[in-house]
Amino acid sequence: MIAYDLQCGNGHAFEGWFEDSKAFLGQKKKGLVACPICNDTQILRLPSTFAIKNAPSVKPKEVGPRDEKMWARFGKQLGEFVEKNFDDVGCNFSKEALKIHYGATEPRNIRGVSTQAEEKTLLQEGVQFFKIPLPAPPETDS
| Residue 131 placed within a domain | no
| Residue 55 placed within a domain | no
What is the model's pLDDT at position 60?
Answer: 62
Query: Cα separation of 113 and 5, whole Å?
Result: 30
| Residue 140 placed within a domain | no
| Residue 23 placed within a domain | yes
Query: Cα separation of 119 and 112, whole Å?
Result: 12
What is the model's pLDDT at position 111?
Answer: 92
What is the model's pLDDT at position 88?
Answer: 93
| Residue 21 placed within a domain | yes
Higher pLDDT, 67 or 13: 13
φ and ψ of 79, to 5 deg: -60, -45
What is the model's pLDDT at position 21?
Answer: 83
Higher pLDDT, 136 or 34: 34
Helix and strand totals (H; E) in the chain: 4, 5
pLDDT in tens, 58-114: 666 665 667 788 888 888 888 888 889 999 999 999 999 999 999 999 999 999 999
Q: In what order do the strands lie in the sheet with 13-18?
A: 13-18, 2-8, 43-46
| Residue 132 placed within a domain | no
Torsion of CA 45, 132, 20, 95, to 10 degrees: -170
| Residue 139 placed within a domain | no
| Residue 12 placed within a domain | yes
Nearest to 70 by CA among 45, 111, 35, 31: 35
Query: Cα separation of 142 and 63, whole Å?
Result: 38
Which amino acid is present at 25?
Answer: L
Query: Domain tally for the chain?
Result: 2
Q: What is the dihedral sign for C-alpha 71, 73, 76, 78?
A: negative
Domain range holding 113? 82-125
